[in-house]
Structure 1
Amino acid sequence: MSVLTSEWLKVRSVRSTYLILGLGLGAILLGLGLAVMAAGMYDAASPEKQSIARIADLEEVLVVVPQLCMGVLGTLAITSEHVTGLIRTSLAIVPRRWPILAAKSAIVGTLGLLVGVTTVFGTYFVAQAVLGDRFSGAYTAAFTDRLPFLIATSLTVPVFALLGLGLGALLRSAAGAIGVLVGLAYVIPMIIGKIPEPWSERLGSLMIGALPREITGDIITTSVYGSLLPPAAAAALLVAYAAVPLLAATWLVRRRDA
């Protein structure tokens, strides 16, 4: 418990933590702005255009904002100690080493979960309130029908937080770890979208962005992602994105010098 308290003190005593959390939660305001703009464009369109107009799920599109923000927070939670040399003090106090990484995982994972749930559900409710029955009723489905997808999408945010922490511990470089996170969120999906079928769908089904819809059994037809994995396999892969780097980092941190 003392290790957990110490790590929590480190995280909350840094101003960058509050900045990153604020930026992540800012996805809700961004969703509001996009919803208002989309509603204005819809209302100004002719009835013929309104009948064919469609809009993406804003909570799914904008989840990348808290994903990257919490991924950066997870990365900085460990790499900042390597930069300042504080990691040597921490390891001297806790010679077994792994409790430090476990405590950091608990903290950034919890923060990621809170931010993920707040931003995803907040964006959904904001978009629903603004758009109403526009875009062929894109936001008129029953909330209980949307709930599994919203939960699955929310869970990708703590996964990014833990992935960032694991990569930061492995690479000891904030720039390197953040580069990998950006690649997973943006670059690799765009590259996969240009690959000929069937490899585009096969590889796209393994991306984090595809997993929420695969977990809930939805068929993806309008994105670069695929939908080949069954729900259980998709859920296991989502867990693996967070667990594998952390397990590798735990093994490595016990065997190398600070």
Structure 2
Amino acid sequence: MNILASEWLKVRTVRSTYLNLALSLGGILLGLAIAWTAADMYDSAPPHQRARAAVAELEEVVVIVPQLCMGILGALAITSEHATGMLRTSFTVVPRRWPVLTAKSVLVGLLGLLAGTVTVFGTYTLSRFVIGDRFSGVYATPFLERLPTLVTTSLSVPVFALLGLGVGAILRSTAGAVATLVGLAYVIPMICGNLPEPWSERLGSVMIGALPRQITGADLTNSVYGSLLSPSAAAAVLTAYAAVPVFVGTLLLRRRAA
């Protein structure tokens, strides 16, 4: 508990924590702006265009904002201490080292869960209110039917936070960790989407963005991702995104000099 309290003190006394949390929650405002613009365009469109108009579930669009922000927060939790030398002090007090990374994992995971839940459910609530029954009733699905996907989408945010922490521990570089996160969130999915079949479907199915819907068995027909995984396999892959980098980072922390 002392280690956890010490790490919490570090996290809550740096401005980057509050900045990343604020930017994450700013995703709600982004979703609201998109919903408002889409509703206005729909209302001003002629009937034949309204019949063909479509809009994505906006909470699944803006979730990338807290994903990246919390991923960066996770990376900074370890790379900033490498840069300042504070990590050597932590390891002097806790020579076994792994409890330090465990405490950091708990904290960034909880912060990611908070940011993800508030952003996803906040965006969903406001988008449903603004869009109403427009766009062929994209937000007309009952809340309880959408709840599993909302929950799994929210869980992707702490996964990114832990992924950032693990990659930061492995690379010891903030820039390298951020580049890796951006690659997983933006670059690799775009590359996968332009590959010939069956590789586009196969690789797209294991991208983080594809996993929340596959876990719940939701429809991915109009998604840019694949949908080859069973719910249990998708859950295992999502867990691996968080657990494997942290595990590897822990092993390297125990073997390398701080």
Same fold (TM over 0.5): yes
Match of 1:17 in 2: 17
Shift in Å, 1:51 = 1.4
Q: What is the CA–CA distance in structure 1 between the aligned matches of 2:51 and 2:255, rounded to whole Å?
A: 62
Q: What is the CA–CA distance in structure 2 between the aligned matches of 1:208 and 1:134, rounded to whole Å?
A: 29
Q: What is the CA–CA distance in structure 2 between the aligned matches of 1:92 and 1:6, rounded to whole Å?
A: 14
Q: What is the CA–CA distance in structure 1 between the aligned matches of 2:44 and 2:219, rounded to whole Å?
A: 31
Show the 5 A alignment for 1:115-154: 115-154=115-154
Q: What is the CA–CA distance in structure 1 between the aligned matches of 2:67 and 2:105, rounded to whole Å?
A: 16
**Which portions of structure 1, spanning 4 or more consecutive aligned residues, are displaced by more than 3 angstroms?**
none
Q: What is the CA–CA distance in structure 1 between the aligned matches of 2:136 and 2:16, rounded to whole Å?
A: 42
The one-letter amino acid paired with 2:180 is V
C-alpha offsets along residues 115-170 of structure 1, whole Å, 9 cap, x if unaligned? Answer: 00000000000100000000011101100000000000000000000000000001
Aligned residues between the structures: 258
Contact 1:23/1:69 (CA < 8 Å) preserved in 2? yes
Shift in Å, 1:223 = 2.8
Show the 5 A alignment for 1:172-187: 172-187=172-187
Q: TM-score, normalised by structure 2?
A: 0.99
- Aligned CA RMSD, in angstroms, stands at 0.6
Shift in Å, 1:222 = 2.1
Q: What is the CA–CA distance in structure 2 between the aligned matches of 1:10 and 1:44, rounded to whole Å?
A: 51
Segment of structure 1 superposing worse, 210-219 or 108-117: 210-219
Q: What is the CA–CA distance in structure 1 between the aligned matches of 2:129 and 2:222, rounded to whole Å?
A: 24
**Unaligned ranges ≥5, structure 2:** none
Match of 1:219 in 2: 219
Q: What is the CA–CA distance in structure 2 between the aligned matches of 1:255 and 1:20, rounded to whole Å?
A: 31
Show the 5 A alignment for 1:36-47: 36-47=36-47
Q: What is the CA–CA distance in structure 2 between the aligned matches of 1:224 and 1:135, rounded to whole Å?
A: 19
Q: What is the CA–CA distance in structure 2 between the aligned matches of 1:172 and 1:228, rounded to whole Å?
A: 34
Q: What is the CA–CA distance in structure 2 between the aligned matches of 1:53 and 1:84, rounded to whole Å?
A: 52
Q: What is the CA–CA distance in structure 1 between the aligned matches of 2:105 and 2:32, rounded to whole Å?
A: 31
Contact 1:192/1:224 (CA < 8 Å) preserved in 2? no
Contact 1:27/1:63 (CA < 8 Å) preserved in 2? yes
Contact 1:71/1:160 (CA < 8 Å) preserved in 2? yes
Shift in Å, 1:224 = 2.2
**Secondary structure of 1:221's partner?**
coil
Match of 1:190 in 2: 190
Match of 1:158 in 2: 158
Match of 1:74 in 2: 74
Match of 1:257 in 2: 257
Shift in Å, 1:218 = 1.8
**Secondary structure of 1:229's partner?**
coil
Match of 1:91 in 2: 91
Q: What is the CA–CA distance in structure 2 between the aligned matches of 1:249 and 1:82, rounded to whole Å?
A: 13
Match of 1:29 in 2: 29
Q: TM-score, normalised by structure 1?
A: 0.99
